[in-house]
Protein backbone atom coordinates (compact mmCIF):
# COMPACT_ATOMS: atom_id res chain seq x y z
CA UNK A 1 0.00 0.00 0.00
CA UNK A 2 1.02 3.52 -0.83
CA UNK A 3 0.08 6.30 1.61
CA UNK A 4 0.64 10.05 1.62
CA UNK A 5 0.65 11.82 4.97
CA UNK A 6 0.25 15.58 4.88
CA UNK A 7 2.05 17.23 7.80
CA UNK A 8 4.99 16.03 9.86
CA UNK A 9 4.02 16.76 13.45
CA UNK A 10 3.00 14.38 16.25
CA UNK A 11 -0.13 13.18 14.54
CA UNK A 12 1.73 12.43 11.29
CA UNK A 13 4.49 10.47 13.03
CA UNK A 14 2.17 8.51 15.31
CA UNK A 15 0.22 7.62 12.15
CA UNK A 16 3.47 6.49 10.49
CA UNK A 17 4.23 4.41 13.56
CA UNK A 18 0.77 2.80 13.55
CA UNK A 19 0.80 2.09 9.82
CA UNK A 20 4.21 0.42 9.98
CA UNK A 21 3.15 -1.63 12.98
CA UNK A 22 0.14 -2.88 11.06
CA UNK A 23 1.98 -3.56 7.82
CA UNK A 24 5.76 -3.48 7.36
CA UNK A 25 5.36 -3.20 3.58
CA UNK A 26 3.38 0.02 3.53
CA UNK A 27 5.13 2.79 1.65
CA UNK A 28 4.65 6.19 3.30
CA UNK A 29 5.48 9.59 1.80
CA UNK A 30 5.36 12.47 4.29
CA UNK A 31 4.69 15.95 2.88
CA UNK A 32 5.54 19.03 4.95
CA UNK A 33 5.11 22.63 3.81
CA UNK A 34 8.01 23.83 5.97
CA UNK A 35 11.52 22.59 5.24
CA UNK A 36 12.10 20.85 8.59
CA UNK A 37 9.97 18.06 10.03
CA UNK A 38 8.23 17.65 13.42
CA UNK A 39 5.67 20.47 13.27
CA UNK A 40 4.32 21.33 16.71
CA UNK A 41 7.23 19.64 18.49
CA UNK A 42 9.76 21.85 16.73
CA UNK A 43 7.71 25.04 16.38
CA UNK A 44 5.07 24.85 19.14
CA UNK A 45 6.61 23.19 22.20
CA UNK A 46 8.40 25.80 24.27
CA UNK A 47 12.18 25.94 23.73
CA UNK A 48 12.78 25.52 27.47
CA UNK A 49 10.77 22.26 27.50
CA UNK A 50 13.48 20.15 25.92
CA UNK A 51 12.29 16.95 27.60
CA UNK A 52 9.01 17.22 25.69
CA UNK A 53 10.99 17.70 22.48
CA UNK A 54 12.80 14.38 23.09
CA UNK A 55 9.92 12.68 21.29
CA UNK A 56 11.75 13.79 18.13
CA UNK A 57 14.14 10.88 18.72
CA UNK A 58 11.28 8.42 18.29
CA UNK A 59 9.89 10.28 15.27
CA UNK A 60 13.36 10.33 13.66
CA UNK A 61 13.50 6.56 14.00
CA UNK A 62 10.41 6.29 11.79
CA UNK A 63 11.77 8.85 9.36
CA UNK A 64 14.82 6.59 9.00
CA UNK A 65 12.69 3.62 7.92
CA UNK A 66 13.47 2.54 4.38
CA UNK A 67 9.87 2.74 3.18
CA UNK A 68 9.28 6.23 4.60
CA UNK A 69 10.12 9.21 2.36
CA UNK A 70 10.11 12.89 3.30
CA UNK A 71 9.16 15.82 1.08
CA UNK A 72 9.86 19.02 3.02
CA UNK A 73 9.04 22.47 1.61
CA UNK A 74 6.11 21.01 -0.35
CA UNK A 75 2.75 22.66 0.19
CA UNK A 76 -0.14 20.30 -0.55
CA UNK A 77 -3.03 22.28 -2.01
CA UNK A 78 -0.61 24.75 -3.64
CA UNK A 79 2.49 22.96 -5.00
CA UNK A 80 0.63 19.67 -5.43
CA UNK A 81 -3.16 19.65 -5.68
CA UNK A 82 -5.33 17.50 -3.48
CA UNK A 83 -6.73 15.90 -6.64
CA UNK A 84 -3.30 14.82 -7.83
CA UNK A 85 -2.16 13.42 -4.51
CA UNK A 86 -5.46 11.61 -4.11
CA UNK A 87 -5.04 10.08 -7.58
CA UNK A 88 -1.47 8.92 -7.00
CA UNK A 89 -1.83 7.32 -3.57
CA UNK A 90 -4.07 4.58 -2.20
CA UNK A 91 -4.92 6.90 0.70
CA UNK A 92 -4.09 10.44 1.79
CA UNK A 93 -4.05 11.28 5.50
CA UNK A 94 -4.24 14.94 6.45
CA UNK A 95 -2.30 15.23 9.72
CA UNK A 96 -1.37 18.85 9.23
CA UNK A 97 -2.38 20.06 12.70
CA UNK A 98 -3.79 23.50 13.45
CA UNK A 99 -1.21 26.14 12.71
CA UNK A 100 -3.29 29.32 12.61
CA UNK A 101 -4.56 31.46 15.46
CA UNK A 102 -8.23 31.59 16.30
CA UNK A 103 -9.12 35.21 15.82
CA UNK A 104 -9.57 37.37 18.92
CA UNK A 105 -12.30 39.79 18.00
CA UNK A 106 -11.77 43.18 19.62
CA UNK A 107 -13.25 46.53 18.76
CA UNK A 108 -10.56 48.73 17.23
CA UNK A 109 -7.94 46.00 16.79
CA UNK A 110 -5.71 47.92 14.38
CA UNK A 111 -2.91 47.82 16.87
CA UNK A 112 0.58 46.80 15.75
CA UNK A 113 1.99 45.02 18.79
CA UNK A 114 -0.85 42.46 18.99
CA UNK A 115 0.08 38.90 18.08
CA UNK A 116 -1.61 35.55 18.04
CA UNK A 117 0.23 32.88 19.99
CA UNK A 118 0.85 30.81 16.83
CA UNK A 119 2.78 33.77 15.42
CA UNK A 120 4.50 34.65 18.69
CA UNK A 121 5.46 31.08 19.63
CA UNK A 122 6.49 30.51 15.99
CA UNK A 123 8.71 33.59 16.23
CA UNK A 124 10.72 32.52 19.26
CA UNK A 125 10.81 28.94 17.96
CA UNK A 126 12.20 29.83 14.50
CA UNK A 127 9.21 29.00 12.33
CA UNK A 128 10.17 30.41 8.90
CA UNK A 129 6.62 31.80 8.55
CA UNK A 130 6.97 33.93 11.68
CA UNK A 131 10.68 34.61 12.05
CA UNK A 132 10.27 38.22 10.87
CA UNK A 133 7.61 39.13 13.45
CA UNK A 134 9.57 41.86 15.25
CA UNK A 135 7.68 42.26 18.55
CA UNK A 136 8.49 45.27 20.69
CA UNK A 137 9.17 44.58 24.38
CA UNK A 138 10.18 48.12 25.36
CA UNK A 139 7.04 48.57 27.40
CA UNK A 140 6.03 48.11 31.04
CA UNK A 141 2.97 45.90 30.62
CA UNK A 142 2.31 42.82 28.52
CA UNK A 143 -1.15 41.28 28.30
CA UNK A 144 -1.75 37.64 27.40
CA UNK A 145 -5.34 36.64 26.66
CA UNK A 146 -6.32 33.05 27.44
CA UNK A 147 -6.05 30.62 30.32
CA UNK A 148 -4.44 27.64 28.63
CA UNK A 149 -0.91 26.22 28.63
CA UNK A 150 0.10 28.27 25.61
CA UNK A 151 -0.63 31.46 27.59
CA UNK A 152 1.73 30.11 30.30
CA UNK A 153 4.39 29.25 27.70
CA UNK A 154 4.29 32.80 26.34
CA UNK A 155 4.43 34.30 29.85
CA UNK A 156 7.41 32.12 30.76
CA UNK A 157 9.38 33.10 27.68
CA UNK A 158 8.60 36.79 28.27
CA UNK A 159 9.75 36.53 31.88
CA UNK A 160 12.86 34.34 31.74
CA UNK A 161 16.34 35.81 31.67
CA UNK A 162 18.91 34.57 29.15
CA UNK A 163 20.45 32.36 31.86
CA UNK A 164 17.06 30.84 32.66
CA UNK A 165 16.83 29.88 28.99
CA UNK A 166 20.16 28.03 28.97
CA UNK A 167 19.91 24.49 27.53
CA UNK A 168 16.99 25.58 25.37
CA UNK A 169 16.87 25.99 21.57
CA UNK A 170 15.31 29.45 21.59
CA UNK A 171 16.24 31.50 18.53
CA UNK A 172 19.21 33.79 18.92
CA UNK A 173 17.29 36.73 17.43
CA UNK A 174 14.51 36.15 20.00
CA UNK A 175 17.04 36.25 22.85
CA UNK A 176 18.46 39.51 21.50
CA UNK A 177 15.02 41.12 21.26
CA UNK A 178 13.96 39.76 24.67
CA UNK A 179 17.11 41.27 26.19
CA UNK A 180 15.69 44.74 25.35
CA UNK A 181 12.56 44.01 27.38
CA UNK A 182 11.31 46.59 29.87
CA UNK A 183 8.32 44.44 30.84
CA UNK A 184 7.50 44.49 34.54
CA UNK A 185 3.95 43.19 34.53
CA UNK A 186 2.62 40.28 32.52
CA UNK A 187 -1.15 39.99 32.81
CA UNK A 188 -2.68 36.60 32.06
CA UNK A 189 -6.34 37.20 31.36
CA UNK A 190 -9.07 34.57 31.73
CA UNK A 191 -12.72 35.17 31.00
CA UNK A 192 -13.82 32.47 33.46
CA UNK A 193 -12.94 31.57 37.08
CA UNK A 194 -9.78 29.72 38.18
CA UNK A 195 -11.89 26.56 38.32
CA UNK A 196 -12.38 26.66 34.52
CA UNK A 197 -8.78 27.54 33.66
CA UNK A 198 -7.19 25.06 31.22
CA UNK A 199 -3.69 25.20 32.75
CA UNK A 200 -2.02 21.95 33.72
CA UNK A 201 -0.37 21.63 37.06
CA UNK A 202 3.34 21.40 36.20
CA UNK A 203 3.11 24.33 33.75
CA UNK A 204 1.30 26.44 36.38
CA UNK A 205 3.85 25.50 39.05
CA UNK A 206 6.67 26.75 36.81
CA UNK A 207 5.26 30.27 37.22
CA UNK A 208 6.35 30.10 40.87
CA UNK A 209 9.89 29.03 39.96
CA UNK A 210 10.94 32.02 37.90
CA UNK A 211 14.03 33.91 39.03
CA UNK A 212 12.91 37.51 38.49
CA UNK A 213 9.12 37.44 38.15
CA UNK A 214 6.65 36.30 40.76
CA UNK A 215 3.04 35.24 40.24
CA UNK A 216 0.24 37.31 41.72
CA UNK A 217 -3.33 36.09 41.73
CA UNK A 218 -6.11 38.65 41.41
CA UNK A 219 -8.72 36.45 42.96
CA UNK A 220 -9.95 36.47 46.50
CA UNK A 221 -8.26 33.87 48.77
CA UNK A 222 -11.59 32.99 50.41
CA UNK A 223 -13.16 32.44 46.97
CA UNK A 224 -10.28 30.16 45.95
CA UNK A 225 -10.75 28.20 49.17
CA UNK A 226 -14.48 28.04 48.49
CA UNK A 227 -13.73 26.41 45.10
CA UNK A 228 -11.34 24.00 46.80
CA UNK A 229 -13.97 22.99 49.34
CA UNK A 230 -16.85 22.88 46.90
CA UNK A 231 -17.14 19.08 46.92
CA UNK A 232 -16.42 16.91 43.92
CA UNK A 233 -13.58 18.66 42.21
CA UNK A 234 -11.56 17.21 39.37
CA UNK A 235 -8.06 16.40 40.67
CA UNK A 236 -6.47 18.60 37.99
CA UNK A 237 -8.63 21.56 39.01
CA UNK A 238 -7.98 20.93 42.69
CA UNK A 239 -4.23 20.97 42.11
CA UNK A 240 -4.44 24.16 40.05
CA UNK A 241 -6.37 25.90 42.83
CA UNK A 242 -3.82 24.71 45.39
CA UNK A 243 -1.01 26.15 43.29
CA UNK A 244 -2.83 29.47 42.87
CA UNK A 245 -3.35 29.57 46.66
CA UNK A 246 0.36 28.84 47.18
CA UNK A 247 1.17 31.80 44.90
CA UNK A 248 -0.92 34.00 47.19
CA UNK A 249 0.81 32.83 50.37
CA UNK A 250 4.45 32.53 49.18
CA UNK A 251 5.04 36.09 48.14
CA UNK A 252 8.64 36.81 47.18
CA UNK A 253 8.28 40.57 46.81
CA UNK A 254 9.96 40.63 43.40
CA UNK A 255 9.34 43.84 41.53
CA UNK A 256 8.26 42.05 38.36
CA UNK A 257 4.94 40.26 38.38
CA UNK A 258 2.90 37.77 36.42
CA UNK A 259 -0.66 38.74 37.29
CA UNK A 260 -3.45 36.20 36.88
CA UNK A 261 -6.72 38.02 36.29
CA UNK A 262 -9.88 36.00 36.09
CA UNK A 263 -13.47 36.81 35.05
CA UNK A 264 -12.25 39.46 32.61
CA UNK A 265 -13.42 39.52 28.99
CA UNK A 266 -11.35 41.64 26.60
CA UNK A 267 -13.52 43.64 24.23
CA UNK A 268 -11.68 46.68 22.96
CA UNK A 269 -8.21 48.01 22.23
CA UNK A 270 -7.57 51.73 22.12
CA UNK A 271 -4.40 53.46 20.91
CA UNK A 272 -3.98 57.15 21.75
CA UNK A 273 -0.89 59.37 21.94
CA UNK A 274 1.56 56.44 21.72
CA UNK A 275 -0.27 54.63 24.49
CA UNK A 276 -2.40 51.56 24.04
CA UNK A 277 -5.03 50.28 26.42
CA UNK A 278 -6.89 47.03 26.43
CA UNK A 279 -10.41 47.26 27.83
CA UNK A 280 -11.86 44.35 29.74
CA UNK A 281 -15.40 43.82 30.92
CA UNK A 282 -15.93 41.97 34.15
CA UNK A 283 -17.69 38.69 33.48
CA UNK A 284 -19.55 36.11 35.52
CA UNK A 285 -20.01 32.42 34.71
CA UNK A 286 -23.63 31.19 34.81
CA UNK A 287 -24.44 27.59 33.84
CA UNK A 288 -21.06 27.38 32.17
CA UNK A 289 -21.84 30.45 30.03
CA UNK A 290 -19.90 33.68 30.21
CA UNK A 291 -22.09 36.66 31.02
CA UNK A 292 -20.36 39.97 30.42
CA UNK A 293 -21.28 42.90 32.71
CA UNK A 294 -20.82 46.63 32.05
CA UNK A 295 -18.06 46.96 34.61
CA UNK A 296 -15.02 48.05 32.59
CA UNK A 297 -11.33 47.81 33.46
CA UNK A 298 -8.55 49.31 31.48
CA UNK A 299 -4.94 48.04 31.29
CA UNK A 300 -2.21 49.96 29.55
CA UNK A 301 -0.69 47.31 27.31
CA UNK A 302 2.44 47.78 25.19
CA UNK A 303 2.19 44.24 23.81
CA UNK A 304 -0.82 41.95 23.60
CA UNK A 305 -0.66 38.21 22.85
CA UNK A 306 -3.83 36.33 22.16
CA UNK A 307 -3.44 32.67 23.23
CA UNK A 308 -7.00 31.52 22.69
CA UNK A 309 -6.43 28.36 20.66
CA UNK A 310 -5.73 27.30 17.10
CA UNK A 311 -7.45 26.46 13.83
CA UNK A 312 -6.30 24.65 10.69
CA UNK A 313 -4.58 26.28 7.79
CA UNK A 314 -7.06 25.61 4.93
CA UNK A 315 -6.01 23.37 2.03
CA UNK A 316 -7.48 24.06 -1.43
CA UNK A 317 -9.91 21.31 -2.31
CA UNK A 318 -10.86 20.43 1.29
CA UNK A 319 -13.90 21.83 3.10
CA UNK A 320 -13.82 23.15 6.62
CA UNK A 321 -16.17 22.16 9.42
CA UNK A 322 -18.83 24.85 10.15
CA UNK A 323 -16.69 26.08 13.11
CA UNK A 324 -13.94 26.72 10.50
CA UNK A 325 -11.45 25.34 13.03
CA UNK A 326 -10.77 21.98 11.34
CA UNK A 327 -11.47 19.97 8.18
CA UNK A 328 -15.02 18.68 7.75
CA UNK A 329 -14.88 14.92 8.30
CA UNK A 330 -16.94 12.01 9.48
CA UNK A 331 -14.98 9.93 11.99
CA UNK A 332 -11.77 10.87 10.22
CA UNK A 333 -13.03 10.40 6.65
CA UNK A 334 -13.02 13.57 4.50
CA UNK A 335 -13.95 12.31 1.01
CA UNK A 336 -12.89 9.61 -1.47
CA UNK A 337 -9.56 8.20 -0.26
CA UNK A 338 -8.77 11.26 1.91
CA UNK A 339 -8.72 10.98 5.71
CA UNK A 340 -7.69 13.19 8.61
CA UNK A 341 -6.67 12.95 12.26
CA UNK A 342 -5.16 15.00 15.11
CA UNK A 343 -5.82 18.74 15.39
CA UNK A 344 -6.62 18.90 11.65
CA UNK A 345 -9.70 16.77 12.38
CA UNK A 346 -11.07 18.31 15.59
CA UNK A 347 -10.51 20.75 18.45
CA UNK A 348 -6.90 21.76 19.09
CA UNK A 349 -6.67 20.32 22.59
CA UNK A 350 -4.54 17.66 24.22
CA UNK A 351 -0.87 16.88 24.61
CA UNK A 352 1.49 15.30 22.06
CA UNK A 353 0.77 11.76 23.25
CA UNK A 354 -2.98 12.25 22.79
CA UNK A 355 -2.42 11.92 19.04
CA UNK A 356 -1.26 8.34 19.45
CA UNK A 357 -4.76 7.00 20.07
CA UNK A 358 -6.22 8.97 17.14
CA UNK A 359 -3.43 7.72 14.89
CA UNK A 360 -4.03 4.11 15.78
CA UNK A 361 -7.82 4.39 15.30
CA UNK A 362 -7.47 6.07 11.91
CA UNK A 363 -4.86 3.56 10.76
CA UNK A 364 -7.26 0.70 11.42
CA UNK A 365 -10.06 2.54 9.60
CA UNK A 366 -7.90 3.31 6.55
CA UNK A 367 -6.56 -0.23 6.30
CA UNK A 368 -10.08 -1.60 6.59
CA UNK A 369 -11.63 0.69 4.02
CA UNK A 370 -8.94 1.21 1.38
CA UNK A 371 -8.40 -1.75 -0.88
CA UNK A 372 -6.57 -0.25 -3.86
CA UNK A 373 -2.94 -1.06 -4.61
CA UNK A 374 -1.62 1.71 -6.81
CA UNK A 375 2.00 1.73 -7.99
CA UNK A 376 4.39 3.60 -5.68
CA UNK A 377 4.09 7.31 -6.31
CA UNK A 378 7.36 8.73 -4.87
CA UNK A 379 9.20 8.82 -8.18
CA UNK A 380 6.24 10.42 -9.96
CA UNK A 381 5.96 13.09 -7.28
CA UNK A 382 9.70 13.76 -7.43
CA UNK A 383 9.47 14.17 -11.18
CA UNK A 384 6.43 16.45 -10.85
CA UNK A 385 8.16 18.66 -8.25
CA UNK A 386 11.33 18.87 -10.36
CA UNK A 387 9.30 19.90 -13.40
CA UNK A 388 7.57 22.61 -11.35
CA UNK A 389 11.00 23.74 -10.04
CA UNK A 390 9.96 23.13 -6.45
CA UNK A 391 13.02 22.48 -4.33
CA UNK A 392 12.05 19.81 -1.86
CA UNK A 393 13.94 18.64 1.20
CA UNK A 394 14.61 14.92 1.46
CA UNK A 395 15.26 13.06 4.66
CA UNK A 396 18.99 13.01 3.88
CA UNK A 397 18.87 16.79 3.46
CA UNK A 398 17.13 17.04 6.82
CA UNK A 399 19.79 14.85 8.48
CA UNK A 400 22.42 17.21 7.15
CA UNK A 401 20.52 20.30 8.35
CA UNK A 402 19.90 18.70 11.74
CA UNK A 403 23.63 18.23 12.26
CA UNK A 404 24.37 21.76 11.08
CA UNK A 405 21.85 23.22 13.53
CA UNK A 406 23.41 21.31 16.41
CA UNK A 407 26.93 22.32 15.35
CA UNK A 408 25.89 25.97 15.05
CA UNK A 409 24.43 26.11 18.60
CA UNK A 410 26.04 28.72 20.81
CA UNK A 411 27.53 27.78 24.17
CA UNK A 412 24.76 26.86 26.67
CA UNK A 413 22.17 26.30 23.95
CA UNK A 414 21.19 23.04 22.28
CA UNK A 415 20.54 24.07 18.69
CA UNK A 416 20.55 27.08 16.36
CA UNK A 417 17.54 26.48 14.13
CA UNK A 418 17.75 27.56 10.52
CA UNK A 419 14.66 29.66 9.88
CA UNK A 420 15.45 31.20 6.54
CA UNK A 421 14.84 29.28 3.31
CA UNK A 422 17.74 30.89 1.45
CA UNK A 423 20.18 29.96 4.24
CA UNK A 424 18.78 26.44 4.38
CA UNK A 425 19.30 25.86 0.66
CA UNK A 426 22.75 27.40 0.86
CA UNK A 427 23.78 24.64 3.28
CA UNK A 428 22.44 21.86 1.04
P1 LIG B 1 -6.67 25.95 25.41
O2 LIG B 1 -6.11 25.05 26.45
O3 LIG B 1 -7.90 25.52 24.71
O4 LIG B 1 -6.90 27.39 26.08
C5 LIG B 1 -7.46 28.44 25.37
C6 LIG B 1 -7.88 29.52 26.34
O7 LIG B 1 -8.33 30.64 25.60
C8 LIG B 1 -9.05 29.11 27.26
O9 LIG B 1 -8.80 29.60 28.54
C10 LIG B 1 -10.25 29.83 26.62
O11 LIG B 1 -11.23 30.20 27.52
C12 LIG B 1 -9.57 31.09 26.13
N13 LIG B 1 -10.35 31.77 25.11
C14 LIG B 1 -10.88 31.25 23.97
N15 LIG B 1 -11.50 32.21 23.28
C16 LIG B 1 -11.38 33.35 23.98
C17 LIG B 1 -11.83 34.69 23.80
N18 LIG B 1 -12.52 35.03 22.71
N19 LIG B 1 -11.54 35.61 24.73
C20 LIG B 1 -10.84 35.26 25.83
N21 LIG B 1 -10.38 34.02 26.08
C22 LIG B 1 -10.66 33.07 25.16
O23 LIG B 1 -5.63 26.24 24.23
P24 LIG B 1 -4.05 26.46 24.20
O25 LIG B 1 -3.53 27.13 25.41
O26 LIG B 1 -3.84 27.05 22.87
O27 LIG B 1 -3.49 24.98 24.18
C28 LIG B 1 -3.85 24.05 23.15
C29 LIG B 1 -3.62 22.64 23.66
O30 LIG B 1 -2.22 22.38 23.74
C31 LIG B 1 -4.17 22.42 25.05
O32 LIG B 1 -4.75 21.15 25.16
C33 LIG B 1 -2.95 22.52 25.91
O34 LIG B 1 -3.04 21.85 27.15
C35 LIG B 1 -1.88 21.92 25.03
N36 LIG B 1 -0.56 22.41 25.44
C37 LIG B 1 0.12 21.67 26.32
C38 LIG B 1 1.34 22.12 26.78
C39 LIG B 1 2.08 21.28 27.79
O40 LIG B 1 1.64 20.19 28.09
N41 LIG B 1 3.19 21.79 28.32
C42 LIG B 1 1.87 23.31 26.33
C43 LIG B 1 1.15 24.06 25.40
C44 LIG B 1 -0.09 23.58 24.97
P45 LIG B 1 -12.65 29.44 27.61
O46 LIG B 1 -12.38 28.26 28.47
O47 LIG B 1 -13.51 30.46 28.23
O48 LIG B 1 -13.03 29.09 26.20
Q: How confident is the chain (428 residues) per 10-residue block, as mean pLDDT? A: 97 98 94 98 98 98 97 98 98 98 88 92 98 95 98 98 98 98 98 97 97 97 95 92 95 94 96 86 95 96 96 98 97 98 96 95 97 94 97 97 98 97 95
**Contact of 428 with 397, CB cutoff 8 Å:** yes
- Measured in Å, residue 203 CA sits from the centre of ligand 1 at 13
Residue in 206, 304, 309, 353 to alter for ligand 1 test, most ligand atoms within 8 A of Cβ: 309
Q: Whose CA is nearest to atom 21 of ligand 1?
A: 146
Q: Whose CA is nearest to atom 9 of ligand 1?
A: 147
Which ligand 1 atom is the nearest neighbour of the CA of 290?
A: 47
CA distance 136 to 43: 21
Supply the angle between the helices 10-22 and 354-369 in degrees, to the nearest 10.
50
- Measured in Å, residue 145 CA sits from the centre of ligand 1 at 10
Looking at residue 4, its pLDDT comes to 98
Looking at residue 80, its pLDDT comes to 98
Which ligand 1 atom is the nearest neighbour of the CA of 308?
A: 7
| CATH code for the domain defined by 2-99+311-427 | 3.40.50.720
pLDDT in tens, 353-406: 999 999 999 999 999 999 989 999 999 999 999 999 999 999 999 999 999 999
Looking at residue 388, its pLDDT comes to 97
Name the nearest CA neighbour of 265 among 279, 276, 284, 280.
280
Q: Is the CB of 350 under 6 A from ligand 1?
A: yes
Looking at residue 86, its pLDDT comes to 98
pLDDT in tens, 54-111: 999 999 999 999 999 999 999 999 999 999 999 999 999 999 999 999 999 999 867 7
Q: Is the CB of 205 under 6 A from ligand 1?
A: no
Residue in 42, 118, 148, 288 to alter for ligand 1 test, most ligand atoms within 8 A of Cβ: 148
**Contact of 361 with 116, CB cutoff 8 Å:** no
Q: Whose CA is nearest to atom 42 of ligand 1?
A: 149
**Contact of 174 with 160, CB cutoff 8 Å:** no
Name, in order, each residue with C-beta under 8 angstroms of 275's C-beta and a sequence gap of 6 or more: 300
Name the nearest CA neighbour of 186 among 256, 123, 121.
256
- Measured in Å, residue 303 CA sits from the centre of ligand 1 at 19
| Residue 12 Cα to chain centre, angstroms | 15
Q: Is the CB of 349 under 6 A from ligand 1?
A: yes
Looking at residue 396, its pLDDT comes to 97
Which ligand 1 atom is the nearest neighbour of the CA of 52?
A: 41
Q: Is the CB of 308 under 6 A from ligand 1?
A: yes
304 phi/psi in degrees, rounded to 5: -125, 130
Q: Is the CB of 377 under 6 A from ligand 1?
A: no
β-pairing, 289-300 vs 275-286, is: antiparallel
Looking at residue 109, its pLDDT comes to 65
Give domain limits for the chain. Answer: 2-99+311-427, 103-306
Superfamily per CATH, domain 103-306: FAD/NAD(P)-binding domain (3.50.50.60)
Amino acid sequence: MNIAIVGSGPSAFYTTQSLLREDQDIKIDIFEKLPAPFGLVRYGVAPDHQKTKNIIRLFSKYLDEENVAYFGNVNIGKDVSIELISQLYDAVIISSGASLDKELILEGDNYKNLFGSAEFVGWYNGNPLHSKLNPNFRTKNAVIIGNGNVALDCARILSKSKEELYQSDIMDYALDTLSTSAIENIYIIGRRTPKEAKFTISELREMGELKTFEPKVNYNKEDLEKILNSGELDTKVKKNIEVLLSFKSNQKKYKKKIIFKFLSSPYKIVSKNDQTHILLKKSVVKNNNIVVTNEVENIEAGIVISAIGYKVCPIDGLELDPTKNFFANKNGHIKNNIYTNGWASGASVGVIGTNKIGASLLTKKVLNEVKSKKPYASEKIKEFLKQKLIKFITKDDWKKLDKIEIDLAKENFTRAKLADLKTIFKYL
